[in-house]
Chains A and B, each alone.
Chain A
Amino acid sequence: MDNFIVGVVVFPGSNCDRDVSWALEGCLDIRTKYLWHESSDLSDVDAIVLPGGFSYGDYLRCGAIARFSPLINALDEFVKSGKRVLGICNGFQILTESGFLPGALVANKNLNFICDDVELDIVSSKGGWFNIGEEKQTIKLPIAHGEGRYHCDSDTLKKLVDNELISLRYKNNPNGSSFDIAGITNEKGNVLGLMPHPERACDKTIGGTDGLFTLKSLILK
């Protein structure tokens, strides 16, 4: 993994960028590089993580302003080339706002900011982001969001189901998401967006290691 570099995007208001970098570097020995949102040069990174936080203060809608950053503009080419992009929480919101993933994330049904560990069923391993081959098809990851209710129209939902684009579903839906959706991929499988935080579940001492597989899969070709 010496030459593989994961770019961790930093927007004004990102607050999980260092956690992601810590999990990749400290737990998985994968090199990372912070990418300021105004940079559009992605030539020296092999995969990208859009971390959680409150980019641009969540003004207008979560992820709505971040979508117009030079980096997100450059992401189109990056995704088309087949390289991997992982959007976590606010990163997922940015991926839906910018059209890389369908649907939208809206305010939790109960209006609360929910900070909890949740059990998730791995529904699809499209793109190799989750380990579905073995016995354990349920994982536990932390969530921390106020606007994580996944919403899409019925045609989109059918397309997600038919094409196995739903990666994760909540066992006990905490936020009112359509079809209990917690994470989805694009059709090619190289873009994953999810509300739970795998980077916060990479070390036994902080409560679990179920996030390791997803972060490790960033290095898949």
Chain B
Amino acid sequence: MDQFAVKVFVRLRPSVLDPAGEATKSASIKLGAEGIKSLRIGKMIEVKIEGNGESEVREKIDLLCDRLFANTVIEDYEYALEKL
């Protein structure tokens, strides 16, 4: 069995308003940061998982992302996978 470390990024789709991102952007400007054009908040999920090779692990992660980690009505996801 191979072990993998996976980082899953879940983001609100561009068409979905992100009020938390807007509020943070506003605070960033108050802090004095200049030039911020856009700020959106997502989630990062770290998973350690084992399986027989990368393709099997990718299948599992795809299922997890599609059915649990993200709600694809409002969110997109992508992930990076590293063999341990």
Contact = CB atoms under 8 A, between A and B. Distances in A.
Highest count of chain A CB atoms <10 Å: which of B15, B23, B69, B74: B74
B68 interface: yes
Q: Which of B15, B17, B23 has the most CB of A within 10 A?
A: B17
A107 B19 contact: yes
Nearest to B43: A60
A103 B74 CA distance: 8
Contacts of A96: 73
Interface in B48-84: 68-69, 71, 73-74
Contacts of B73: 96, 102-104, 151-153
Contacts of A106: 12, 16-17, 74
B74 A97 contact: no
Nearest to A176: B17
B71 A64 contact: yes
Interface residues of B, number: 12
B20 interface: yes
A149 B17 CA distance: 10
Contact of B19 (A60, A68, A104, A110): A110
Query: Chain A binding site: helix, strand, loop or mixed by DSSP?
Result: loop
Contacts of A104: 71, 73-74
Given A106-B16, A109-B17, A109-B19, A60 B68 contact: yes
A68 B17 CA distance: 27
A97 B67 CA distance: 10
Given A106-B74, A111-B23, A151-B74, A60 B16 contact: no
Interface string A90-112: 00000011000011101111110
Interface of B: 12, 15-17, 19-20, 23, 68-69, 71, 73-74
Given A106-B12, A111-B23, 10 more contacts: A60-B69, A61-B71, A64-B71, A102-B73, A108-B19, A111-B20, A149-B17, A151-B73, A152-B73, A153-B15
18 contacts: A60-B69, A61-B71, A64-B68, A64-B71, A96-B73, A97-B71, A103-B73, A104-B73, A104-B74, A106-B16, A107-B20, A109-B19, A111-B19, A149-B17, A151-B73, A152-B73, A153-B73, A176-B17
